Amino acid sequence: MPPTFNNLYILLINLTEIKSAWRERFLNPGFRYRFLITVIVLVAVLFSLARFLDYNEELSGFAFKDPLLNLFSPVDVTWFTFGLIYLSLIVALVSLSYYPEDFLVALQSYSLVFFFRFCTIFLLPLDAPATTISLTDPFVEFFGGGETLHRDLFFSGHVATMLIFYLTSRNKNLKKIFLVNTILVAAAVLIQHVHYTIDVVAAPFFAYTSYKMALYISTYKK
């Protein structure tokens, strides 16, 4: 049966149902093709963005005074931020694994989000706020060569990713949790002065656009 909030722990042990769902979908040649292409594109986008971000760190951009950030001094909430992000990631992956088509849409949305980030960072090179406290992401640093990134600013990939969890989840209670976590992560990156306000405001628009494009891709000539 589909996962519910009350028996969320069952998600970690009910592998039979998950295997059955994926086995059934992989019998469809169209799904196999779309899944393979999606994985290839995702890997290509992530590695290309990582290489670009390393290069981008050496470039010069521009900074501006953010009226909201000027109201308070930054606070380091790195552990809180990534605690929410990775906990949400685990729950999202497990819950989506019951629905292969939704899982595929989430992967496609994620790929599109990071493609848009590649484009916006290139077209709008921003320097980090002068008061920023570095946000060390183990995943990004692994693909980016182990250096902390400061100029991957427009727009917030963390906020966009969290919103994708919300958009692709079927469970109403999980959707509420993901939405709250998205707001908390958005607040956290502002509290730490990691992003400008415009970065956080723009993220939901790119996430939603990516999600709608992924839905179209998944339904086109299925």
**Residue 141 CB partners (closer than 8 Å, separation 6+):** 147, 148, 149
**How far, in Å, CA of 160 to CA of 85, rounded?**
11
Phi, psi of 97 (to 5 degrees): -65, -20
**Helices marked H in the chain:** 15-26, 29-56, 78-96, 100-123, 138-144, 157-168, 172-191, 197-219
Of all helices (H) and strands (E), which one includes residue 68? none
Cis status, amide bond into 114, omega within 30 of 0 = no
86, two tokens: 């990775």
d(CA 151, CA 158) in angstroms, rounded, equals 14
Which residues on neighbouring strands pair with residue 138, listed in sequence order?
none
The mean pLDDT value for 35-59 works out to 79
- Does residue 6 have a pLDDT over 60? no
**Is the sign of the CA dihedral 5, 11, 14, 15 positive or negative?**
positive
Which of 77-81, 148-152, 211-215 has the highest mean predicted lDDT (pLDDT)? 211-215
Name residue 97's amino acid: S
- pLDDT of the residue at 188: 92
Kindly state whether residue 126 falls inside one of the protein's structural domains: yes
Distance of CA 204 to the CA centre of its chain: 11
Given a cut of 50, is residue 1 above it in pLDDT?
no
Tell me the longest C-alpha to C-alpha distance in the chain: 56
Helices marked H in 132-222: 138-144, 157-168, 172-191, 197-219
Tell me, yes or no, whether 185 lies in a domain.
yes
Q: Is residue 164 part of a domain?
A: yes
d(CA 189, CA 197): 9
Residue 1 included in any domain:
no
In a domain, 3, yes or no: no
Pairwise pLDDT comparison (14 vs 140), residue with the higher score: 14
Q: Which domain holds residue 58?
A: 8-219
SS3 126: strand
In total, how many domains does the chain have?
1
Q: Does residue 2 lie in a domain region? A: no
Question: What's the CA gap between 128 and 56, in Å, rounded?
Answer: 12
The residue among 82 and 143 whose pLDDT is bigger is 82
What's the Cα-to-Cα distance from 26 to each of 13, 19, 175, 219, rounded to whole Å?
A: 22, 10, 27, 16
Q: For residue range 73-128, what is the model confidence (pLDDT) as tens digits?
A: 889 888 888 888 989 998 998 889 889 999 999 999 998 998 898 888 878 877 77
